[in-house]
Amino acid sequence: MTRTDDYYKQKGLFGHQPDPYQVQVQTDILDLLPDDIESVLDVGCGDGYITDALPERLRVIGLDISEEALRHAKCQTRVGSITEIPFADGSFDLVMANDIIEHLPDGEYVRALAELARVATKYVLVTVPHREQLEAQQARCAECGCVYHLNRHQRAYDERILRDLFGGSLRPVEIRYSGDLTLSPPDPTIPIKHGQGFFRTWEKGICPDCGSGEQVAGNSDSLFFQALNAICCTVWSRTLHDQPLRNNRTEIMALYTKGPTTRTPETQQHEEKIGSPLDIDFSNKFQSVSLGFTLGSPWAQFHLPAEIAISAEGIGLTPDASQAVWIPIRIPVEAEEGDTIRIHASCPIGSGTLALTYADGISHIDRRLFKKRIRLTDRRIEARLPERLWPDQYGTILGLHLSGKVRVHSLSYEPAGGPRPETTFLRLFAGHNVLYADRTEPVVSWGLTVESEGYYPKPNFESQLVDVG
């Protein structure tokens, strides 16, 4: 048994609740399925999360090297490898491999792609991570010192690579951006972090050389590590002024055909508006996060504690909240002395207090900008930062403190040193939203399922036509 076998045969690796990115990938795969297919082979199907969701009208078989994974699948399955698919030429109308080929060593990679094409009669569908910075996901074995990718990824992908993945044997029909909205820009401090012993850790990571699960972990609470994160976030925030907002989707998939098949996009109409990624509309649920902030977020975010309710009027305390509540905020900006923050708040009934704090991303010491008591009125409050601030790894640190009946509607951030960045926002509707680029050879799309309406930055497809370095 090889170390790779050890990794993929772990019992705890399969059968868990799907991550949000997997839910989105499943939705987009089902949306991309051609109408003229009757059979599907899912190569590397794992526990069958996608395989079992395919339409019942199709003949479906799931293939995987892990018997442990296949125990969770409900569809017909077979043990086998992507490099030696145990089926004859042209056995299935569509063959798919989702989050598989990025794991393959170079010696198996070309053969695996040829096998996918060989077994397919009409189509091949491939899903891979989008523009992953491989070094950022590396661990160091505490036993033998081997540096390895925690998920065993061997290469990174972007749209350009997927276009030519199969050379001339298969033609891409549609390429779609999918997965989470959490892809961060490349971290320029990774070489320094690795040099100082800061690596990623994961309880399911297994060293490919010695098989140990023990990993080196640096002190992420140290001031040195915090300073590196501040430098990284500063570099990221500067790109908002220099280029359009990047496409921060974590997955990308492509549907390929052997024939003359084309796809005609079913376009959806979305309302557009111009705004700044430095502003917060507290009624927009897409800017709120219930868990942690997003690394390299292209726009401002706020954390939504359980004691805070969000509505069309903004945010305010829930009826059972008995004391002041702190709302953390992150702004993707390099904060300077004199930067202006404007807040629109109101208190149509009763009274309450509103305070705004800021903190340096290295020391994390909170300082108050103002505290206002609001009663039966609508207030627009303006304050200026008295000093330059380092961000933390998520952005410039602000915080709102609410008590009583105060509602906060919006926050606007204006840098003192120049114009604010602006971008186009789309109003997404509840359900599966699909956006299309202007180009059609192949069709390029962006899929996102959301539970409620709201505005989200419009993807800039042109900025993705850059090779992965």
pLDDT band at 376 (very low <50, low <70, confident <90, very high): confident
pLDDT band at 40 (very low <50, low <70, confident <90, very high): very high
Average predicted confidence (pLDDT) for the chain: 91
pLDDT band at 440 (very low <50, low <70, confident <90, very high): confident
pLDDT of residue 150: 95
pLDDT of residue 242: 62
Which SS3 state, helix, strand or coil, does residue 451 take? coil
pLDDT band at 7 (very low <50, low <70, confident <90, very high): low
pLDDT of residue 243: 60
pLDDT digits (tens, 9 = 90+) for 123-146: 999 999 999 999 999 999 999 999
Encoded tokens for 304: 């939504």
Q: 3 vs 179, which has greater pLDDT? A: 179
Q: Tell whether omega for the bond before 442 is within 30 degrees of 0, i.e. cis.
A: yes
Q: DSSP class of residue 391?
A: -
Cα Rg, the chain, nearest whole Å: 25
Q: Is the pLDDT of residue 200 over 60?
A: yes
Q: Could you give all domains of the chain from N- to C-terminal order, each with its CATH number?
A: 3-257 (3.40.50.150), 277-420 (2.60.120)
Residues 6 or more apart whose CB falls under 8 angstroms from that of 418 comprise 241
Distance CA(31)–CA(237), nearest Å, equals 35
pLDDT of residue 6: 59
Residues 6 or more apart whose CB falls under 8 angstroms from that of 425 comprise 272, 273, 274, 275, 455, 456, 457, 458
For residue 198, which of 150, 136, 154 has the smallest C-alpha distance?
136
Residue matched to tokens 């990047």? 246
pLDDT band at 466 (very low <50, low <70, confident <90, very high): very low
pLDDT band at 370 (very low <50, low <70, confident <90, very high): very high
Q: Is the pLDDT of residue 460 over 90?
A: no
pLDDT band at 218 (very low <50, low <70, confident <90, very high): confident
pLDDT band at 316 (very low <50, low <70, confident <90, very high): very high
Distance CA(429)–CA(431), nearest Å, equals 6
pLDDT of residue 2: 47
pLDDT of residue 264: 78
Q: Kindly state the greatest CA–CA separation across the chain.
A: 76
pLDDT of residue 468: 43
